Structure 1
Amino acid sequence: MAAESGAGTGTGTQAVERALSLLTCFSAEESELRSSELSLMTGLGQSTVSRMVSTLERLGFVVQDDRTGLYRLGPTAVTLGSVALNSSAVFRAGRQTLQNLAQATALGANLAELNGSTLFYLCNFEGSTAPKSFTMAGRSAPLHATGLGKVILSGQSEEFVHEYFKRGLAHSYTPRTITRLDEMIAALDEVRNRGYATEVEELAFGRACLAAPIRGHAGDVVAALSVSGPLSAIDLRQRQQELGLRAIEAADEISVALGYTASVVGGKRHIARI
């Protein structure tokens, strides 16, 4: 929580830090906030928040609902978010492939990469059997409790995985969540062997996904994609082989676009292990 005095070395730096601290209060869970809530979340005085929010509103970073008085992120923030996404090579290489995957499977298709110690969603598309009323872009999720996260963990060093669990990040979300290091190590070995990861009610009840790795030009795992949806729609008992094949092929297509050598891409190699 930021102190009222700020941490900047000068007035200008302090003002920037305070303004950014206000913007970072908004999230998928807290998309609309009152000025009093912003004050509480940042530790800034109410008068400081009012002054800062007024400036942010004038610049289009936030807008205020005339009826409720609540603030939400504005068009300038949306524009900057779009610029950031379009500057991502993974996003540019994967967007159309992901859209095609959602249409072909009738499931949700998701693209994500590693951000520190969490999963960061770049984009998603909805299939007809897995509709969403919101976008996943910009959201985060735990690595250990998602198929996408397990794929990304499978490409990290042993030290990274051990440190993740040592820091106590492997929280339980359902009884199926993997929270023990030895179980995760076994799960990651399985991901590497068959070329994809599954997630069945590990993050949320009634949901499942199947994810495959996306590799950069050097062959390292730089991102992951998945197909996801309600258990009844994804039906892994009947569709796992089909969806595994589709996910691997789509991931390989993006990997090639990122410069991964086609002769090394594991489509056939992985398919044989499904």
Structure 2
Amino acid sequence: MPQDPLFNQSLEKGLAVLKAFGVGRSTLSLAEIAERAEITKSSAQRMVHTLELLGYLAKEPGTRRMRLTPKVMELGYNYLAGDALLDVANPYLAELSRLSEETVNLTEPDGDSMVYVARFVAHRFIPIHMPIGSRIPMYCSGAGRAYLSALDQDTARALVEQSPRPRHTEHTLVESREILERIELARRRGFSSQAEELFLGDMSLAAPVVGSLGQPLAAVHIVAPTSRWRLEEAEARLAPLLIDCARNISGSFRGR
């Protein structure tokens, strides 16, 4: 972090402690917290004690391990409650889920990831559960490529090239040239797609939501499991519904 006289390192450490928890890390010892947060054990002890007193952490019964409390969700809820785009988008997302009979999501950008902020789950089976707040990488997700397709080419290229690009499955595209070609295709068609690049059995189509100046704000995506859909069939039947949904959200949000 650059030198900044207003930057509060204690707050940075406290947030790092909260972010140390996650999938497969529901409880952590003090040493594990220090390691995950990349701070000293004494700093971790002070941060954990403070966060416990404030109600954001609690000790597991019978152990010295810590866990997050539901109070942490208040921070995320405050963001969602203040997100004007969600109020506009929710009716259109619900209608898209009804028409497609598939699960529909709205994701918003954060760095080189897309974050789930709304989810309408269909009654039909989906291979992967992604709760609100889940993050997916832009480079190999339909939502991420849809968002990138609405950026100017130089900005999109810079985001792809600077992001880590691990291979999640045998189908994941990791070469920047191939990814940029998919983004350019999405720019021409108005929607993007990916097939099993992040999770096996998972396929999705996505379209960008744009603001009054044409800047991307979010992406709508439909989950189309490979157990029910072939990519060509999904693109033919679902893409028109998806594009209409994204355009309606964009137009309604600009009209507020």
* TM-score past 0.5 threshold: yes
Q: What does residue 100 of structure 2 align with?
A: 105
Measure the CA separation in 2 of the matches of 1:195 and 1:43.
42
Q: What does residue 62 of structure 1 align with?
A: 57
How many aligned positions are there?
255
Measure the CA separation in 2 of the matches of 1:81 and 1:174.
30
Q: TM-score under structure 2 normalisation?
A: 0.85
1:171 aligned residue (166, 169, 177): 166
Measure the CA separation in 2 of the matches of 1:8 and 1:35.
29
Q: How does 1:98-247 map to 2 (within 5 A)?
A: 98-131=93-126, 135-167=130-162, 169-247=164-242
Letter in 2 for 1:21: A
Q: How does 1:19-30 map to 2 (within 5 A)?
A: 19-30=14-25
Q: What's the offset of the Cα at 1:229?
A: 4.2
Measure the CA separation in 2 of the matches of 1:180 and 1:48.
40
Unaligned runs of 5+ in 1: 262-274
Q: What does residue 77 of structure 1 align with?
A: 72
The superposition leaves residues 85-113 of structure 1 with CA deviations (integer Å, 9 ceiling, x where unpaired) of 12222223223332333344332211112
Instruction: Tell me the secondary structure at the aligned position of residue 164 of structure 2.
Output: coil
8 A Cα contact 1:28 1:139, kept in partner: no
RMSD: 2.9
Instruction: Tell me the secondary structure at the aligned position of residue 254 of structure 2.
Output: coil
The superposition leaves residues 54-91 of structure 1 with CA deviations (integer Å, 9 ceiling, x where unpaired) of 32122121233315554332232111210111222222
Q: What's the offset of the Cα at 1:227?
A: 0.7
Distance 1:184 1:260, change over 3 A: farther
Distance 1:87 1:9, change over 3 A: same
